[in-house]
Amino acid sequence: MPYTFVFRGQNWTIWELEPKHWVELTLGGIDDTAFTGEITYTTRVAPYWGVSVSNFAFGSTSLGTTAASGIVDTGTTLLYVSTAVYHKFLTASKGKLDNTSGLVKFTTKPTSNFTFVVGGTAQYSNWGISSTSGFHPFIGDGGSEAPNTILGMSFLEFYYSVFDTDNNRVGLAPAA
């Protein structure tokens, strides 16, 4: 999966190329071949790369509609959500906390998608690690203090990310 982001104004992109795990650095703009559809932009809400995240759902089950303060962070592995959303996710998905890994565990792969809104609908449907004993999604408990939603690499590796300093916004599009 591509690992991509662009700092506009400084214009650079990093893209992890499978299967050899090479990294490509592109200077000077957006690579239109690295994503599908349109880039959805949202205003940056903090001095760091903060975004407003809302309308969390698992399938048709709402996990919370209140906007949460979120961070787009390539240095974080998991996708973290607030404690309230996390516990509703466990209930709706019938997932159990695996004390060995610290991750949610399913005995069978979930058939519903985990979704949330950042300037438009961004869909998280990769269920992470699969093993002979079950599936572990890369979703964690981000706590109750804001910012508690972190869009880490388990989310970002499936999205082309634009960090637009000139227009003070963040853009996301599904990676090609």
What CATH number was assigned to the domain covering residues 4-174? 2.40.70.10
Dihedral of CA atoms 9, 10, 11, 12 in degrees, nearest 10, equals -160
Q: How confident is the model over 72-119, as pLDDT tens digits?
A: 988 898 999 999 999 999 999 888 888 888 888 888 878 788 889 888
pLDDT digits (tens, 9 = 90+) for 10-60: 544 555 555 544 445 555 678 888 889 998 999 988 778 889 898 999 889
Residue 87, CA atoms < 13 Å, CB-side half-sphere: 4
Q: Which amino acid belongs to residue 27? A: L
- Say how far apart CA 83 and CA 139 lie, in whole Å: 11
Report the alpha-carbon distance of residue 167 to residue 43 in Å, rounded: 8
Residue with tokens 């089950």: 61
Under a CB-based contact definition with an 8 Å cutoff, are residues 97 and 87 in contact? Answer: no
How is the chain split into domains, by residue range? 4-174
Which residue has 């058939």 as its token pair? Answer: 111
What is the model's pTM?
0.81
